[in-house]
Amino acid sequence: MDFPLLTIILVIPLLAVGLLMFIPPSSFKSVKVVAATAMCISLGLTIYAYVTYDSSIGGMQFTQSIPWISDLGVSYSVGVDGISLPMLFLTNVIGLAAVFSSWNINVRPKEFFILLLILITGVMGTFVACDLFIFLLCYELVVIPIYIMVIIWGSTKRVTKEYAGMKLTIYLLMGSAFMLVGVVALYLQAFPAELRTFDIAALSNAHLYGTLSQSFQIIVFFLLLLGFGTLLSMFPFHTWSPDGYAGAPTAVSMIHAGVLKKIGGYGLIRLGLLILPAGAKFWAPLIIILGLANVIYAAYIAIVQKDLKYVVGYSSVSHMGYVLLGFAALNTISLTGAVANMVAHGIMSALFFAVIGYVYEKTHMRSVDQLRGIAHQMPRISVGFMLAGMSSVGLPGLIGFIPEYTIFLGLFKVYPFLAMLAVSGIVFTAIYILRVLQKVLFGPRDYGLDKYKDAKGAELVPLFLLGTVLVLFGLFPQLLMGVINSGVAPLGPFLQELNNVPSLLVTLGGIW
């Protein structure tokens, strides 16, 4: 590929950051326009990539590779395949929505948008990186802006924003510390000294050469699981997520729940499963159990929450459980579902946080007990709520249904009884979502809220953008599933071979 499309997509937000440096902090409007323009271009190019990606060939496309630190085997190499392309698309959609949902920020907007753009670049970087070093670099790039954004622009409710920011950051750093140890061990073990490389494709072949023994894979995968699992809010490392989202400003909640968490799932597939297949297979039963805990335990907690952000926070923990289940069932159907569910959940949770952000910004309330009947005053926001809620419930015709269905199907093939438990999640989800929708949106008119206006102008962009994606991918799921399939289907034989690799259960059975 001669035209460095992905690099340009990555560079545009950074160029905007550069431009923002020269804009006086007082001109709020131009700051926002620059950020929005950058994200529009970036999204446009991503859509171009999405449309022109050739699903019939599959594999890494739009690749570019420049050696960087050749002594260590580091190179700047990027590319997307059927797994990372939807994630890149997701990042751009949510990035643009996040910019517009922050349109009313008037406290240090220049700094805010600079940090936001850096954050978005970092997340995009992790998805397009074909080099483990670049992946880690981008990942670390993400953590810092989040911390600053939470403690400056965040909000204090049940926990203070300082606590939330700190908790979020420490959890992410702890996770990445485990990950780093795993990655370094992998780097040293995979190839002899003169051949060492961070190239993900090369590392993915290492297990074929037998340099990665089974026990090595089991240990390193466990480290990665700790890292990525924390990021994905896997039980019991999930408590940062509701608190963090509650404290964070809207844009951070959107990006964090929408895409950042997905790095966890993405990493488990790209690095965990593909590089360390025996490790993934070994720990799969544990991941299934923890995923089930996510689905049911977090849904139960969401039922008794009062603060809207906590409801969505726990809801997102619950939905990420499906991703874990889809991952750990280790077949092509469930993996496709897991990736699709990351996209689906990203869009719906971003929409959720956007509308909650609007309501909170206007009324300074977000408790189920305080808000009632906002459909009277804010019909457009209510439509956003309904769309997000209904796709969360897994209503067919919206984005949430097909991913869940495929995950269930994949899971049924492996663990039919546990799968039934997982399906029960659809009932719990309906309970907590509908309780919230009923109380907040409907009911008698609260005249005290009459002074607050419905969303309008720039605020409508996130609703429209995310809503369109929800409906489009819901009605025509093949648009999403086709691309993901081109990334997952080739793994079929690879996953087939894994059937013979022992898992935790076998080992435990042996001890028994």
Partner 1 sequence: MEQFALTHAWLIPLVPAAAFAIIGLFLQNFHKLSAAIAILAITFGFVMSLGIAGAVFNLGITVDAPFVQRIEWIKIAGLQFDMGVIIDPLSVLMLLVVTLVSLLVQIYSVGYMKGDKGFGRFFSYMSLFSASMLGLNISINFVQMYVFWELVGLCSYLLIGFYYYRIPAREAAKKAFITTRIGDFGLLIGILLLQMLFGTVDFIQLRQVIPVYLMANGAGVLTIIGILLFMGPIGKSGQFPLHVWLPDAMEGPAPVSALIHAATMVVAGVYLVARAYFLFASLPILMNIIAWIGAFTAFFGASIAFSQHAIKRILAYSTISQLGYMMLALGVGSLTASMFHLMTHAFFKSLLFLCAGAVMHAVNEEADIFKMGGLRRKMPVVFVTMTIGVLAISGLPPFSGFFSKDAILAAAAHVSMPLYLIGIVTAFMTAFYMARLLFLVFFGESRQKEVHKVSRFMQLPLIVLAALAVVSGLGGYVYNFGDWVRFGPPVVEHMDWLLASTSTLLSLLAFVLAWNIYGSKRWSSDIIAKKLGIIYTITFNKYYIDEFYALLCRIFIDGIGKIMYFIDLYIIDGTVNAVSALVLLFSKLLSKFQTGQVQRYAAVFVCGVVILLLCTIMYLDKVNGVLAAGGAF
Task: Provide the binding-site residues for partner 1, judged by CB under 8 A.
Answer: 167, 170, 236, 239, 243, 297, 300-301, 303-305, 331-333, 336, 373, 375-376, 390, 395-397, 401-402, 405-406, 408-409, 412-413, 416, 419-420, 423-424, 426-427, 430-431, 434-435, 438, 441-445, 477-478, 481-482, 484-485, 488-489, 492
Find the shortest distance in angstroms from Cβ 376 to partner 1: 7
**Closer of 204 and 429 to partner 1 (Cβ):** 429
Q: For the CA atoms of the chain, what is the radius of gyration?
A: 22
* 461 close to 97: Cβ distance less than 8 angstroms: yes
Q: Measured between alpha carbons, how far is 49 from 26 in angstroms, rounded to an integer?
A: 36
Report the run of H or E that residue 170 belongs to, with start and end: helix 161-190
Q: How far is the CB of 13 from partner 1 (least distance, A)?
A: 32
Shortest distance, CB of residue 446 to partner 1, whole angstroms?
Answer: 10
445 vs 453, beta carbon nearer partner 1: 445
d(CA 154, CA 244): 10
Q: Are 470 and 389 in contact (CB under 8 A)?
A: no
∠ CA 26-30-31, rounded to 5°: 75
Which C-beta is closer to partner 1: that of 38 or that of 484? Answer: 484
Neighbours of 420 (CB within 10 A): 12
- Could you give the CA distance from residue 363 to residue 381 in angstroms, rounded to a whole number? 13
Q: Can you tell me the distance from the alpha carbon of 280 to that of 292, in angstroms, rounded to the nearest whole number?
A: 17
Q: Which residue has the tokens 């395949």?
A: 81
Closest CB 420 distance from partner 1, rounded Å: 6
Least distance in angstroms from the C-beta of 260 to partner 1: 20
Shortest Å distance, C-beta 401 to partner 1:
7
The Cα angle at residue 133 between residues 128 and 135, in degrees rounded to 5 = 35
Q: How far is the CB of 445 from partner 1 (least distance, A)?
A: 6
Minimum CB distance to partner 1 smaller for 252 or for 333: 333
Burial 248-285 (b: 16+ CB within 10 A, else e): bbbbbbbbbbbbbbbbbbbbbbbbbbbbbbbbbbbbbb
**Toward partner 1, which CB reaches closer, 78 or 411?**
411
423 backbone dihedrals φ, ψ, rounded to 5°: -65, -30
Structure tokens at 439: 């109380």
Q: Which is nearer to partner 1, 117 or 298 (CB)?
A: 298
Question: Closest by alpha carbon to 263, among 84, 421, 415, 445?
Answer: 84
| Cβ at position 354, least distance to partner 1 in Å | 20
> 365 or 481, CB closer to partner 1?
481
Nearest CB to partner 1, comparing residues 175 and 373:
373
